[in-house]
Amino acid sequence: MEALHPFRKKYHREFWALRDVSFEVSRGETVGILGRNGSGKSTLLQIICSVMQATRGEAHVNGRISALLELGAGFNPEFTGRDNVILNGAIMGFSRKEMLCKLPEIEAFADIGEFFDQPVKTYSSGMFVRVAFAAAIHVDPDILVVDEALAVGDVRFQRKCLLQIEKIRASGAAIIFVSHSLETITSLCSRAIILENGVVLADGEPKIVAEKYLAILFSESKEELSSEVTNERDGKSSTNQEIQTNQFRSEQFCDVDPSSWAGSLSERFGYNRHEVRTTNGCAAILDYLVAGDGCADITGVWSGTSIAIVIKVHFSAAVSQPIIGFELKTDKGVTIAGSNTFLAKTQLQSAAIGETKIYRIEFNTPLNEGDYFVDLGVAEYDGSPGGYVLDVRRSMIHLMIRRMQEKQFNGIVDIGFRFREIDC
């Protein structure tokens, strides 16, 4: 209609999936890309893989690239899994003889049994992604591109894939990984990028970028986003306190009258001034105290100590069913544990407009020594487990754990190891 219109009237609406996106990925780097649906992630990967041509600009790729994009891309549904693997190798520049040598390893990794010689159109989505991923990672790529494909497989296969990705990264290949799993991004990637409305909103350390992405998901407006998302976070509190040296007695919490709390939030031991906050104004977490071993406002505890976090919440609107929650994370942003009053089946009293309430959270810390962070949140029950978010303060509290020398272990959490020899 536009071509035939005498005055060249425009009937279409121009849409830019990507705009002014520019970044480099070096050899050995693992880059995670985050973004809401429609932010341009898949379009970006397709341009990198030369599946799609950019309207403007250029994408320079140096090295052999292996891609696992949308489910079904590049596979002929009438061919068997074995035939499709050979065909995929031919597209990558491998001869039939070379692919036949690689086939046993690919077949073993896919682990779908006799279905490997059945037409792909008979596969379930899980079986399909097994074959597709096995084919993509066993062609010695210099660059591996994965677009959320692992979300289809079962948990064991996802773990198997992540271990294989670690091996590829260790070999020096570059990896570009799109995922909505923040824990996967923070634990697997050395760098993360946020795409929002086709532009790069953040590019940097995964745990910092992941927190910015969470702020985007829960922001009510762009103004809130710009005011609440911080540009950086060093993960350290402005003030440190010497760790208590006497051993903790499990039930000895410090009962402090919240109305008599001295000082302000910014003066709290362990307060992380680089926290990321999301709020809609209906409620606000005003202050907190970490209590344990008969002391309040502590930041350092021994591994295995039971502690309490007392928080002060002000309600600017009436909330009939408030929910209080928290999450404990490593300094890399990986969630160790989290819960809320709804999941714990603890019903709280309603809050009136202008009312300030005090809540207490108690938990154990069977953790290895290191730096940990606590998220605090208040929500209103709306039928979902997490409720409607009113105020969330992520990485608000910096908690330092010291391990007792007589009880050492590897990893993050002490799961109560016991060893013994059994007589024959």
pLDDT band of 88, cuts 50, 70, 90: confident
pLDDT value of position 328: 94
What angle do the packed helices 81-91 and 96-110 form, to 10 degrees?
130
> Is residue 329 a contact partner of residue 395, using CB atoms and an 8 Å limit?
yes
Looking at residue 121, the DSSP 8-state letter turns out to be G
Closest of 192, 164, 198 to residue 180, by C-alpha: 192
CATH class of 30-228: alpha beta
Can you tell me which residue has the tokens 């190891």?
A: 417
Q: How far, in Å, CA of 192 to CA of 26, rounded?
A: 13
Can you tell me which residue has the tokens 């009937």?
A: 11
Q: How far, in Å, CA of 391 to CA of 236, rounded?
A: 22
> What would the 3-class secondary structure string for 388-402 be?
EEEEEEEEEEEEEEE
Identical topology for domains 30-228 and 258-402: no
pLDDT in tens, 273-325: 888 888 888 999 999 999 887 777 888 888 888 999 999 999 999 999 999 99
Instruction: Give the ranges where 92-205 is alpha helix by DSSP (H).
Output: 96-110, 125-137, 155-170, 182-188
Q: Is the pLDDT of residue 99 over 70?
A: yes
Can you tell me which residue has the tokens 């930041």?
A: 299
Going by DSSP bridges, is the β-strand pair 322-330/335-340 parallel, antiparallel, or unpaired? antiparallel
pLDDT value of position 72: 58
Q: Is the pTM of this model over 0.75?
A: no
Give the residue with greater pLDDT, 219 vs 331.
331
CATH class of 258-402: mainly beta
pLDDT in tens, 367-378: 998 889 999 999
Mean pLDDT of the region 157-164: 76
Give the residue with greater pLDDT, 11 vs 85.
85
Q: Is the pLDDT of residue 225 over 90?
A: no
Closest of 178, 188, 182, 195 to residue 276, by C-alpha: 182
Q: Where are the domains of the chain?
A: 30-228, 258-402
> Is residue 85 a contact partner of residue 116, using CB atoms and an 8 Å limit?
no
